Structure 1
Amino acid sequence: MDMELFAEELSNSVQSIELGENNYSTDTNRFTEERIFEEISATTPKGYRLSHCLSEGVSGRVYLVTNSDATDCFAAKVVSIDGSFSYHSIPARTNNHLRDGILREYKIQKELQHPNIAAIYALKNTRNFSVMYMELIPCGDLFERIPLDIGLHIQQMFQYYFQILSALDYLHNEKLIAHLDIKPENIMLTRKDRAKLIDFGWAVDLKTCSKFKGLMGTKVYAPPEAWTCGFYAGPPADLFSLGVTFVTAVTGMRIWNSANAESDDVYRKWLTRSSDLYQTSPFDRLPADFVNFLIRTLAHDPNDRLTIPQIRKHPWFQLGLKRRLTPVSSAEKADRSGHDKENLRQFNQVPQSQPIAHTSCNLLQKQTQIPLDNKMILSQPLDIEGRLLATQLQPVEDKSASKRVKVAHLLKRMTRFFSSLGNEQHTMEVIRAVIAQHSYLRMTVRGPCNLLVEIRQPDLPLTVFRLLLYRLSGSIMADFRRVSGDGLLFHRIYAVIVEELKQIGAVNDTHPYLAQVLPETLEISS
């Protein structure tokens, strides 16, 4: 089959999936896709329409938005203010902060223009939703590239580290913004392997609040000072989180559950430089010069931690620059000019009825009191486009950015496979039987081809994923999407489920489309 036709068929299959789930849901979800489209359609710019759901999170979903002839597109992050998207109830105190938080996030991100930060176009409000229109990044988040328990080549991850470090330099020194939630799920990749930072739901304007206290962001990547009772600064915290992200990416493993020496044995050994630590995985796999770099970038005391200028002067970083064989495409401003200027001029207005955002130390301290496992703060996390089901209509870049050409890309994701069984019902029955064997997995049937699964393990954040089945060229594709929680844990559980399905012959490893179009990658030095 022609690739364009295949992508179109896959797109149609995706659009046919009903996520409203009214007939099967055991919760209070009130909104069908039709109802959502009807309410939000009035907020889209002239000539554009809401297409299918790309990904979802605890309090919202991300939809594809295209123009009439599908030559231009962007993403709409739709946040349910009353929690109607959620698979469990949202506390009332969180509801009260949602619109304020979304507006604050929008006001911070709309002022940012950097090649390694996702562009945001507009914020609109309806009775039940807040809608942020933003750049579509087609090739998933960093976790889509990380082989479980193996990791990326250090030099490939260096390319992404180099780019996000540039974004943080811009944020910290030019815009005086701290991101405070650096992690693999918040680093998206373009087709040219450009890394882009997303999700500013935890971001803080350092001009109004230079220091804060309490745990912010995601605990696995949070710095040690977040676990103390004192105040701490944002830039060193971001650099610590980026360092943990680097190690996670090159090992394919979580190095510790938290940088809290009182409760985490691995971090305590890291802090005391225990010789036992370097004889256990994954630390025994790390090169000595890289470990030396990590000791400085992951220093316990933020005053001892390398700053961005010091990182760039470090011998290991300088060596990484020399090893780069294929540089990332030249830096350019986040493209905001390709869409109809007049439409976006009127479109890009903050609603006058929207309450004024408050960014204060007191507010931030209050937000940290909300349990992190619920991942409810602001719009966090929605995992923007990280779990694309299939075809993406990505504009071809040119110097003028005046023309956009329809190009359908099939993204081979690490969390989907083709079933070797005869029909959807049989496939779902077998998958449910495999999942039921694990006591830490809790299932909720949301439709005949739609299953929601919670991963409950001690000392790890509650993680939720969705399984969707749909037909594609006579075959059945099983697509697993992380809804919320820990990305590494989700990939690990997915690997367990698929391996057990392979053992009983339920996975078709020879499907011809498995070898189709992949994202372009960089050459890596040996």
Structure 2
Amino acid sequence: MALRQYVMLRTLGEGGYGKVKLALHLRRARRCGCLGEMEVRRLFRQILAALSHCHAHGVAHRDLKPENLLLDWHRNIKLADFGLSAQFSGAALLKTPCGSPEFASPELFCRQEYSGPAADVWSLGVVLYDMVTGELTFEGNSFGELRARVLSSIYHEPHYLSQQNRDLMRKMMTLDHQSRSTLDSVIQHPWVGLPNGLSPAVSRPWAGTRPQ
């Protein structure tokens, strides 16, 4: 496949041997980079396991986005870049707004005190949307336009997404953080398919030649 037919847009993830890029096909004007739901589900379970571990130890990541999800040679995800993470205790709220605007929760745009875990769940919902569609959930030509779209919580749901996948993302990207799904609720959601708790699938090594 000729690379000259594509325009490279942005990095979706990065591993020790290369980067996963989002690309635009010039003839079809179609973004390439989204994964099938089965593969997304496997990777998403791994992200949930990592984030659940963080929250269990009182740490909110606060900067969840594809660029901070690293792929290793075995196609497994590692959660990275804890530079903006913060410790929390119980229901105590955080005050400092931070993270990438496209993945930030509504309460951060409103400069309210916020729950670190609830903000992480929103960001993870945006990440999930990106993984299954290859698109950002909310975009704007200016910060004000992006803020308005996030606070509207209105986004396009492609017809090819399963009903369960759509339902999960709606619950994760609920405007009211008190009504938003908790991470435990996300883990128990039918689309995730882990009714007996987290036991994320880990890939075996790729068959084939390791790139030089």
Whether the TM-score (by the shorter chain) exceeds 0.5 is yes
Q: Are 1:204 and 2:86 counterparts?
A: yes
Q: 2:52 aligns with which of 147, 151, 169?
A: 169
What number of residue pairs does the alignment pair up?
Answer: 182
Match of 2:98 in 1: 216
Q: Please, what is the CA RMSD of the aligned residues?
A: 3.3
Secondary structure at the aligned position of 1:299 is classed as coil
Match of 2:28 in 1: none
Alignment of 1:427-466 (within 5 A): none
Match of 2:70 in 1: 188
Q: Are 1:257 and 2:142 counterparts?
A: no
Query: What is the CA–CA distance in structure 2 between the aligned matches of 1:147 and 1:247, rounded to whole Å?
Result: 17
Q: 1:242 aligns with which of 124, 128, 144?
A: 124
Secondary structure at the aligned position of 2:176 is classed as coil
Q: 1:138 aligns with which of 9, 13, 16?
A: 16
Match of 1:314 in 2: 189
What residue identity is the alignment partner of 2:211? Answer: L
Secondary structure at the aligned position of 2:70 is classed as strand
Secondary structure at the aligned position of 1:317 is classed as coil
Structure 2: unaligned runs, 5 residues or longer: 1-13, 25-30
How far does residue 140 in structure 1 lie from its aligned partner after superposition?
4.0
How far does residue 189 in structure 1 lie from its aligned partner after superposition?
0.6
Query: What is the CA–CA distance in structure 2 between the aligned matches of 1:213 and 1:303, rounded to whole Å?
Result: 17
TM-aligned CA distance change 1:301 to 1:139, over 3 Å: farther
Q: Is the 8 A contact 1:146 1:249 kept in 2?
A: no
Query: What is the CA–CA distance in structure 2 between the aligned matches of 1:181 and 1:299, rounded to whole Å?
Result: 18
How far does residue 184 in structure 1 lie from its aligned partner after superposition?
0.4
How far does residue 283 in structure 1 lie from its aligned partner after superposition?
3.3
Alignment of 1:27-106 (within 5 A): none
TM-aligned CA distance change 1:207 to 1:186, over 3 Å: same
Query: What is the CA–CA distance in structure 2 between the aligned matches of 1:201 and 1:303, rounded to whole Å?
Result: 26
- Normalised by the length of structure 2, the TM-score is 0.72
* CA displacement 1:476-501 (0-9 Å, x = unmatched): xxxxxxxxxxxxxxxxxxxxxxxxxx
Q: 1:156 aligns with which of 27, 39, 43?
A: 39
* CA displacement 1:227-268 (0-9 Å, x = unmatched): 11320011111111111011112211122137xxx7445445
Q: Are 1:292 and 2:167 counterparts?
A: yes
Q: Is the 8 A contact 1:164 1:197 kept in 2?
A: yes
* CA displacement 1:269-290 (0-9 Å, x = unmatched): 544xxxxx55xxx634433321
Match of 1:228 in 2: 110
Query: What is the CA–CA distance in structure 1 between the aligned matches of 2:18 and 2:68, rounded to whole Å?
Result: 10
Q: Is the 8 A contact 2:104 2:122 kept in 1?
A: yes
Query: What is the CA–CA distance in structure 2 between the aligned matches of 1:145 and 1:187, rounded to whole Å?
Result: 13
How far does residue 158 in structure 1 lie from its aligned partner after superposition?
1.5
Secondary structure at the aligned position of 1:283 is classed as coil
Match of 1:492 in 2: none
Secondary structure at the aligned position of 2:193 is classed as helix
Query: What is the CA–CA distance in structure 1 between the aligned matches of 2:202 and 2:181, rounded to whole Å?
Result: 25
What residue identity is the alignment partner of 1:246? Answer: L
Identity %: 27
Query: What is the CA–CA distance in structure 1 between the aligned matches of 2:69 and 2:43, rounded to whole Å?
Result: 9
Query: What is the CA–CA distance in structure 2 between the aligned matches of 1:315 and 1:410, rounded to whole Å?
Result: 37
Query: What is the CA–CA distance in structure 2 between the aligned matches of 1:224 and 1:269, rounded to whole Å?
Result: 9
Structure 1: unaligned runs, 5 residues or longer: 1-135, 272-276, 331-395, 397-407, 412-526
Match of 2:4 in 1: none
TM-aligned CA distance change 1:270 to 1:232, over 3 Å: closer
Q: Is the 8 A contact 1:214 1:228 kept in 2?
A: no
- Normalised by the length of structure 1, the TM-score is 0.31
Query: What is the CA–CA distance in structure 2 between the aligned matches of 1:167 and 1:327, rounded to whole Å?
Result: 12
Q: Is the 8 A contact 2:103 2:123 kept in 1?
A: yes
Secondary structure at the aligned position of 1:196 is classed as strand
What residue identity is the alignment partner of 1:283? Answer: P
Secondary structure at the aligned position of 2:67 is classed as helix
Query: What is the CA–CA distance in structure 2 between the aligned matches of 1:299 and 1:159, rounded to whole Å?
Result: 24
TM-aligned CA distance change 1:195 to 1:171, over 3 Å: same
Q: Is the 8 A contact 2:60 2:85 kept in 1?
A: yes
Query: What is the CA–CA distance in structure 2 between the aligned matches of 1:182 and 1:169, rounded to whole Å?
Result: 13
